[in-house]
Structure 1
Amino acid sequence: MRTIKKLSTLLLAAAVLLSCNQKSNTVTSQKEYSKYLEIKDNKSRDFVQSEIDFWQKKFDAAPNQISYLSLLASNYSKLFENTGKVKYLYKAEELLLKSNEAYNYSVVGTIRSLGRNYISQHRFKEALVLANKALAIGEGMKETQKLLFDINMELGSYSQAEQNLKAINDSSDFDYLIRISKWNDHLGDLKTAISLMEKAKYIAILNENKHLQVWTFSNLGDLNGHAGNIKKSYDYYLKTLELEPNNSYALKGIAWISFSHERNTVEAKRIIENISKRHHTPDFYLLKAQIAEYENNTVAKNEYLTAYFQMLDSIDYGAMYNKYNILVYADDKSTASKALEIAKKEIAHRPTPDSYDLLAWSYYNLGDSKKALEIAKKYVVGKSFEPKLNYHLATIYKANNKQAKIVPIKKELLNSMYELGPNLEQKISNL
């Protein structure tokens, strides 16, 4: 009788301990963010649409006023950001092309706007041509150098990016601060990256610029998550939503916290289901597939991946989802050759360590570990601090029996489990 009572006491203590551990792991609160999931209207989108209607009427009445085209394009770009519908990005491009053609590519602001549109479309080399065209004209040099920094970072031209960063050096300038923050993140110095983004945040607050506050809050949500400051990350996503209740990026960030940190797949799925109704983009299917994989639901995972590719087939996203396609195809031996084909194309227009990693990963999944190692050593090792790249690198090292090189990488990977997600936990432990 005493033995049974003792066992019951132990079981109760274990249950209490488990409950405490689950609570200590919880940073989100449904009471705080659920109201943002239930919003029916979208004031930001409606305002942008009203601006489009206004400027379209103005242009229809005075088609010789070319400046109206840029104003229309700017609002279509905002509509793309708000809804995720790529047709609005293409509409902005169409308007900017008309505007640049009318000006004979002589107005630097309009040239830069088209360059930024091409960045969003992942047409980086075309964006570079436009930025250099603006640079040659010579007006607004600082703004053009900011654009060049952004493009060079995307192209992996880091020495040129650094030169442009030095050219715009001004610690009181918001645009400089967010770029030097990105530069430090690229160097693997997250602490400095966060500190610089905090300075940019204060400038945005001081200037009462809601758009820039939303931008910095959401980015601080990301950066703090990468640094393992999960509660801070969550708080910044909430701050983003307070200013912009329909911000799908912040809600997706909270969904990731629910999934990766709290391991609450039910709540993560609830958040994703709600936001994907308002901001319907292919990447939500990939997130759902990740969660299904964690739940060992292979049928659901395959259904979500099928839905993802069906959406890509029905809507032309250009090169915007190449990276995701490579990762999905590479993880399946039957489609790994497709991954290799896309990876080669990606290198042709974006020769970054990230792209070369995808090429190496494709070769590894095709069974050519030696070729994978050769590419990784030449183009990836020491050139990026991204956890996913390091996971691929460690896996390739293991396939080539280079265990000594795995040890320091594995330590870093274990510290990056939140960013990598729970599906890689066992794989990393087995390295």
Structure 2
Amino acid sequence: MNIETLPLTSNELEIIQKKYEKRYSKFKSTSLIAIILGIAALFTPPEVWNFLKVFDKKQGIRNLEDVNEYMFQNPTMIVIVILAVTSIIFLSKYIFINPLKKDLKEKEKIRGQFQITRIENIGKRVSEKLGGLDTILHFEKNTTKIKKHLFNKTDKPELLNAKGIIIEQSKHTGIIFLEKIIQNSINEKIGSELQEQFNQTKKQFLNKRELHPLFEQFKNYISKINIEELISDFEKEIDLNIDAWWTNSEKKVDLNSKILAILFTHRDLADKNPEANVYGVNEVNNPLQIVTESYDLGSHDYADGYYALPGITLTFCKELHKLDYTSLKNTEYEGLDWYDFDGRIELFDSYRFALKYALHKSLSNLEKRNRFNKINSTKPLHFLVQEYHDGKVTPVLIVE
């Protein structure tokens, strides 16, 4: 859930102004009618009140006494009428006028991104009283006053299948300016595909027969990759690095530059101490793509100081260092060229997809906690993974 306060546009202010003028006109009419009815009640003959008692279905229970005088002759009744008229005028102004005045004064609106927990149909009678609104979207728990959203399913049938929605509404009166289905299926697809690719490459490697002994040992290591632990470790690291590095002015990072993408770049996973450093992309020649597959990032640039910042450590890949030529020295495999051996692609891809899937999940968790709000970024903000010297990047999360 993301909540932010934005300035009202000129068109939105005009909408509120027109509604204010319309409501104020009704308020004056209501106040005038209330005063007239109050005065009329004070001067209504006692015979009229006694006649009206005939229509009281519970007069036998109430056992009301006959009225013998005009209300204006009774001080208590004068006070009651004055209080009733005053209350009507005050409540009308408080409920219908004051919120509009606040909106016009503060000129702000709330933009919220909400996850839908359930959909409720409204009964026909209640729907008629609500001007045809017949369906309620209930949102996940949040700190705002926006807990649900009413709409007409005939006018907006697409909302029936929505999992999330973006709503822009005036701060005090709740006048809706925008309701848009969150197209977050892209992140669901990213996560689903990365998980599937990890499981698939892992299975393919484990099913390999007659692997070279150098690769055979990795069946045990790959089987022990714990995705949940990776997600937790990545989330903790990134959570700390956001404050300590990514948004820390003391680290000489240009915080005024709008970040288009956060790029996690790693070298060979078989390095001794592999890690993925972070680069803040602020310029691109080609538009960033909202896709699930890898693509060529093209020419791009980074914000000042926003390069090679701490991102995540990849200690779960440490076993791959056994394949490094330095590790093979003084062994029976010294000088062995294993690059074309069967299983190499599946082996390294298993680690790559484990990295990307766990990073996707950890970033998703942080996004739910609004941890990226501190980053001076555009919308959407792309989180990408790139292997050093490879022009292609893989999307792992797109924050809209």
The higher relative CO (CA closer than 8 Å, separation ≥ 6) is in: 2
Q: TM-score, normalised by structure 1?
A: 0.21
TM-score by length of 2: 0.22
Bigger proportion of residues as strand = 2
Q: Which has the larger radius of gyration?
A: 2
